[in-house]
Amino acid sequence: MNKIIITFITILFLTSISTAQEKVEINIEKSTIKWIGEYTFYFGGHDGFINFKEGYFIKTDKVITGGEFIIDMNSIVNTDIKEKSPRENLVDHLKKPDFFDVKKYPLAKLVITKVEYSDKTHARIEANLTVKEITKPINFRVEFNYDKKKMKTRFKIDRKKWNVNYQSKFKDSAISDAIGFEVSIKL
């Protein structure tokens, strides 16, 4: 009976070592989220940045297998408009209810649910994105640089799925339903 118990404990111990998970906090000061909003009927649009409030990856056997990231919606800024007043007007408008309604919904969240590697540094991520308390699944491709402790990706979402429903009054200046993101995360 003692041999069975010792064998069982040994197997449990070895199994826990081989699938050891580690929570790795991101460096929010060196990580960036660039947003890109474009016009529907002609080239152009606006872009800027929004900040992580906090975030972490889950590493299993030295590779990323999950994670969770909180985004501070109040941190949104515009970088393409040089004049202060129009830039501030755009940012104020993005914070209103017909866009992100940051007063009511100050945080967004992305939770990684699945990581499928195509090679050692490239993967397809499935995640749940929550904006305005609406959670929808998204997926995107990423590149990991484990030597530099960095991850980068680019993807687009359909803003209307998260009730970001602004409609321009002018057809030729309508904004696209797609919002692009370029994300760089440092550990």
Which CATH architecture is the domain 21-186 placed in?
Beta Barrel (2.40)
Q: Band of the pLDDT at 18, cuts 50, 70, 90?
A: low
- pLDDT tens digits, residue range 78-87? 999 999 999 9
The pLDDT > 90 percentage for the chain reads 74
Q: What is the DSSP string of the chain?
A: -HHHHHHHHHHHHHHHHHT-EEEEE--TTT-EEEEEEEESSSS-EEEEEEEEEEEEEEEETTEEEEEEEEEEEEEEEE-S--SHHHHHHHHHHHTSTTTT-TTT--EEEEEEEEEEESSSSEEEEEEEEEETTEEEEEEEEEEEETTTTEEEEEEEEEGGGGT-----SSGGGPEEEEEEEEEEEE-
CA count, 13 A, side-chain hemisphere, 85: 0
> Which residues are registered as beta bridge partners of 154?
182
Tokens matching residue 104: 């009511």
Instruction: For residue 88, give Cα distances in angstroms to 8, 56, 95, 108.
Output: 64, 31, 11, 22
Write the pLDDT tens digit of every residue in 102-118.
999 999 999 999 999 99
The rounded distance, in Å, linking the Cα atoms of 121 and 110 is 21
pLDDT band of 40, cuts 50, 70, 90: confident
Task: Give the integer Cα–Cα distance in Å for 130 and 105.
Answer: 10
Reported as a single tens digit per residue, the pLDDT across 49-80 is 999 999 999 999 889 999 999 999 999 999 99
- How high does pLDDT run on average in the chain? 89
Structural domain boundaries in the chain? 21-186
- The rounded radius of gyration (Å) of the Cα atoms in the chain is 21
Structure tokens that stand for 168 in this block: 């321009």
